[in-house]
Structure 1
Amino acid sequence: MFSRFNFIPVLRGHWKGLTDGRYTPPRPDISARLATLVPIGVFVLMWLRQGRLSTPGALLTGVSLLAGGMLSAFTHLSTLRLKVKEWVGSSEVSRYEVEKGMLDETAAHLLTGSLLCALDAASLVIGMNVSVTKDGHLYGFWAAFAAAISSYVLIIFLFLVPRLYSAYVEMNDVSPNLNGFVERQKRKR
């Protein structure tokens, strides 16, 4: 019954995705994993400095829109993953292993980001009802908590953009002239 509310596999997939796949077996990506500690610093800083969120409603709107965007990106990613699965049946099986891994990793990041956006929205709504100044500023625990979650969502977003672009480039055989991963050759004079 409670398995419907078990988010641990999503979070575990997100954590496993923070690896450096250039090695066999993959090694932890230390810089990515260290970046996940930033929200703790944000929380502590907001709490100790008695930080406030002056426009929590705007943050709530942004988080809600981002949750929707991440969920729609996930549905598109699922379609791409099915396409790769069809291609794997062909003769180029090994070529698509890297793309499959990138899509699987990105899916876990997108779903983790969506979950955190929902948690962030809930914390903002609760905070806006129990911990707001007369000027409408969110303060205290709820401000620090929302800021920490928002910073983690931002980090996930920063993880996702290069991964989504890489998946797009690889899946669609983007021309080297337009591929951002290919450096231009300097012209000889």
Structure 2
Amino acid sequence: MSERFNVLPVLRGHWKGLTDGRDTTRPRADIVARLSLLLPVAVFALMLGRGGRLAAPAALLTGVALMAGGMLSAFTHLSTLRLKITEWDSSGGASRFEVERGMLDETAAHLLTGSLVCAFDAAALVIGMNVGATKAGQLQGFWAALAAGLSSYVLIVFIFVIPRLYSAYVEINNVSSELNGFDRSKRRKG
């Protein structure tokens, strides 16, 4: 197989990124995150088993396309930020951004996986709308179940990415405790 079509490293990076990143010396699997990836399988099975339909597949296709574009755009910004960290730490020695670097690396794999799943989701929706739609334009059967499962996977990946991006932003930019959402102290009144 041509390496050009090999998406396994991206998927492997996505899976490896589902760890508890607080301990960079011995990362442990984040069981809850990994188990949450079973939710799209359950959505697929429920939709298929119960004869579920998607009433507005075109709207879902639009949303999937926007998510793919947004994730790819976020990846470009993320890789620029990662490059900046590498430049800041070019002096060698221990990095003060080691945890943040790991979060950015993990998030890059999640963003690319999300974009890839969006592409498969869009393909499933387009094919389904052409071979499995009712006269009323609803998507039904296997194609509706596949699109629902893939869309729920994209949603989960999106939810994974947001806290990681925010955490990296807060740490790298040294956001004050008054505006830092991770700081649980009460805001001081001025």
Instruction: Say yes or no: does 1:54 pair with 2:55.
Output: yes
2:9 matched residue in structure 1: 9
What is the CA distance between 1:2 and its match in structure 2?
Answer: 1.1
Q: C-alpha offsets along residues 16-56 of structure 1, whole Å, 9 cap, x if unaligned?
A: 00001233311100000000000110000000110000000
Q: Is the CA contact 2:178–2:187 (under 8 Å) kept in the aligned structure 1? A: no
TM-score (norm 2): 0.95
**Structure 1 range deviating more: 8-17 or 86-95:** 86-95
Q: Secondary structure at the match of 1:176?
A: coil
Distance 2:94 2:86 in 1: 9
What is the CA distance between 1:183 and its match in structure 2?
Answer: 1.2
1:115 matched residue in structure 2: 116
Q: Measured at CA, do residues 153 and 34 of structure 1 come closer, stay the same or move farther in structure 2, by a change above 3 Å?
A: same
Q: Is the CA contact 1:87–1:93 (under 8 Å) kept in the aligned structure 2? A: no
What is the CA distance between 1:186 and its match in structure 2?
Answer: 7.8
Query: Structure 1 stretches of 5 or more lacking a match?
Result: none
Q: Is the CA contact 2:22–2:99 (under 8 Å) kept in the aligned structure 1? A: no
What is the CA distance between 1:185 and its match in structure 2?
Answer: 3.7
Q: Secondary structure at the match of 1:95?
A: coil
1:159 matched residue in structure 2: 160
**Structure 1 range deviating more: 98-107 or 18-27:** 18-27
Q: Is the CA contact 1:70–1:110 (under 8 Å) kept in the aligned structure 2? A: yes
1:44 matched residue in structure 2: 45
2:35 matched residue in structure 1: 34
Distance 2:57 2:99 in 1: 40
**Could you tell me which amino acid in structure 2 is paired with residue 59 of structure 1?**
L
1:174 matched residue in structure 2: 175
Q: Secondary structure at the match of 2:13?
A: helix
**Could you tell me which amino acid in structure 2 is paired with residue 147 of structure 1?**
A
Q: Measured at CA, do residues 58 and 102 of structure 1 come closer, stay the same or move farther in structure 2, by a change above 3 Å?
A: same
Number of aligned positions between the proteins: 187
What is the CA distance between 1:64 and its match in structure 2?
Answer: 0.1
Q: Measured at CA, do residues 186 and 136 of structure 1 come closer, stay the same or move farther in structure 2, by a change above 3 Å?
A: closer
Q: Structure 1 vs Structure 2: percent identity of aligned residues?
A: 71
RMSD: 1.4
Which portions of structure 1, spanning 4 or more consecutive aligned residues, are displaced by more than 4 angstroms? none
Map 1:14-163 to 2 at 5 A: 14-23=14-23, 24-90=25-91, 93-163=94-164
Q: C-alpha offsets along residues 134-161 of structure 1, whole Å, 9 cap, x if unaligned?
A: 1100000000000000000000000011
Q: Is the CA contact 1:19–1:28 (under 8 Å) kept in the aligned structure 2? A: yes
What is the CA distance between 1:12 and its match in structure 2?
Answer: 0.1
